[in-house]
Amino acid sequence: MRVSRATFDEVMFQTYVPAQFVPVRASGSRIWDSEGRDYVDLAGGVAVLSLGHCHPALNAALKAQADRMWHISNYMVNEPAMRLAQKLVNATFADRVFLCNSGTEANEGALKTARKYASTKYGEQKHRIISTTNSFHGRTWLAVSTGGSPKYTKGMGPVPEGITHIPYNDVDALRAVMDDNVACVILEPMQGEGGMYPGSAEFLGAARELCDKHNALLIFDEIQSGVGRTGALYSYMRKGVTPDILTSAKGIGGGFPIGCFMARAEVAEVMQPGTHGTTYGGNPLGAAVAETVIDIVNNEAFLERVLVAEQRLRAGFAAINAKHNVFSDVRGEGLWLGCELVAKYDNRASEFMKAGHRNNVVFLTAGNNNILRFAPALNISDAEIDEGLARTERAIAEVVGAG
Ligand SMILES: Cc1ncc(COP(=O)(O)O)c(C=O)c1O
């Protein structure tokens, strides 16, 4: 059967506005389309492809597991899932791991766990969820309601009750809404989709302190920031603030759909048989890939290289800006950088992204269409960074030249 980009418009829900080319093959940080054109991938599948496309070790893990066993259900244990959970427990603050399939599902489970913990220990009145405006936590009902962009719930109400949003990095606002009926505070250690705003040490520290004071749980959504993206296995490790529950997805599967949430034993124990579940969570294929990702990423030299590559990208952005004067700010952590456009190009980030496609480079947008977002593979080479930057500069020159 022949398909083309037009097929998308004809037979699929129009919930996305995909690029005009059709990617058919990819390797490392390169993508090839159906016309044979190649692209440098500085988007990493939206911070998913931690080891690039079709990494040999991940391919080998997936293929070996595919020959052994695909699915067994949670009526039985499986070895890759237990190995993955053990590796996460060894590497983090957590004692228990729940495996699921995506980021939004990880947050859903984390929030349910927090409410269950609060009601079990302190009573049902303790159910408030504190989140931040501009945050993004996924697309399930609870996740869009917890997320801080009303556009994702518009026309779909009423939304679940008991959720309060405060501005990100605003310690006073957080202090003002906290009370003993708060079950949890959920935060991205750095807001990604919302505009690439790193959480300040004061804000994250205050969140920890206020949660302790009010017996509330602190949830860190590390779905985009986790698994080496910021130069630490999880970014909380660099921030010096440890959450009670951590959610992870995207990069942990390196492209295979898998997510998880993890917690200390005392928190996890409120989730007894029947309180939560999922058919595919802990699927052996995903777990076999994810344990291989963790083996490779959780390595000092690998994580140090992420920070070296960050500096190369930043130097490239500075050079581009010196020539074209398009960025008012470049911010982020590790290989997760946002270039905010100057006022003249406000709301025009997608124009730059499309120019990128014409110039054979893929990057993303963020915020209010005013930020170019970069989240390449964590193992991207210097040569690929340089080529990606050269193509990005050509794309920027094209938009700037057009006025
Ligand atoms: C911080 C954060 N949380 C949750 C999600 C949702 O993850 P998923 O799309 O896998 O459901 C995302 C996805 O962009 C995210 O960046």
Distance 365 CA to ligand 1 centre (A): 15
List the structure tokens of 376.
């390449």
Separation of CA 143 and ligand 1 centre (Å):
9
| Tens of pLDDT, residues 185-223 | 999 999 999 999 999 999 999 999 999 999 999 999 999
Report the pLDDT value the prediction gives residue 403, as an integer from 0 to 100. 79
Ligand 1 centroid to Cα of residue 61, in Å, is: 25
What is the number of the ligand 1 atom nearest to the C-alpha of 140?
Answer: 11
d(CA 186, ligand 1 centre) in Å = 13
d(CA 138, CA 145): 9
Q: Are 225 and 190 in contact (CB under 8 A)?
A: yes
Q: What is the pLDDT of residue 402?
A: 86
Dihedral sign for Cα 334, 84, 48, 92, please: negative
Mutate which of 137, 152, 230 for ligand 1? The one with the most ligand atoms within 8 Å of its CB, which is 137
Atom 16 in ligand 1: which residue has the minimum CA distance?
A: 224
Question: Tell me, what amino acid is at 369?
Answer: N
Whether residue 192 has its Cβ less than 6 Å from ligand 1: yes
Left if phi > 0, otherwise alpha if psi is -120 to 50, otherwise beta: which for 344?
alpha
Q: With a 6 A CB cut-off, is 135 part of the ligand 1 pocket?
A: no
Q: Which atom of ligand 1 is nearest to the CA of 259?
A: 10
Q: Where are the alpha helices (DSSP H) in 24-140?
A: 44-47, 56-68, 79-91, 103-122
Q: Is 223 in the pocket of ligand 1 (CB under 6 A)?
A: yes
State if residue 193 touches ligand 1 by the CB under 6 angstroms criterion.
yes
Q: CA–CA separation, 64 vs 60, rounded Å?
A: 6
Ligand 1 center to 224 CA (angstroms): 7
Contact 325, 293 (CB under 8 A): no
Q: How far is the CA of 140 from the centre of ligand 1 (A)?
A: 10
Is any ligand 1 atom within 6 A of the Cβ of residue 221? yes
Burial of residue 191 (CB within 10 Å: 0-12, 13-18, 19+) is buried
Cα diameter, the chain: 62
pLDDT at 184: 98
Q: Is the shortest distance between the CB of 199 and ligand 1 below 6 Å?
A: no
Asked whether 235 lines ligand 1 (CB < 6 A), one says no
Q: One digit per residue, pLDDT tens: the chain, 403 residues?
A: 999 999 999 999 999 999 999 999 999 999 999 999 999 999 999 999 999 999 999 999 999 999 999 999 999 999 999 999 999 999 999 999 999 999 999 999 999 999 999 999 999 999 999 999 999 999 999 999 999 998 999 999 898 999 999 999 999 999 999 999 999 999 999 999 999 999 999 999 999 999 999 999 999 999 999 999 999 999 999 999 999 999 999 999 999 999 999 999 999 999 999 999 999 999 999 999 999 999 999 999 999 999 999 999 999 999 999 999 999 999 999 999 999 999 999 999 999 999 999 999 999 999 999 999 999 999 999 999 999 999 999 999 999 998 7
Q: Which DSSP string corresponds to 337-398?
A: EEEEEPGGGTT-HHHHHHHHHHTTEE-EEETTTTEEEE---TT--HHHHHHHHHHHHHHHHH
What pTM was estimated for this model as a whole? 0.98
Ligand 1 atom closest to 225 (CA): 1
- Report d(CA 167, CA 134) in Å as an integer: 8
Report the atom number in ligand 1 closest to the C-alpha of 107.
Answer: 4
CA of 193 to the centre of ligand 1 (A): 9
Q: Provide the 8-state DSSP code for 94.
A: -
CA dihedral defined by 162, 145, 168, 262, rounded to 10 degrees?
Answer: 90
Half-sphere exposure of 237 (CA within 13 A, CB side): 17
What pLDDT is attached to residue 216? 98
Cβ atoms 374, 42 nearer than 8 A: yes
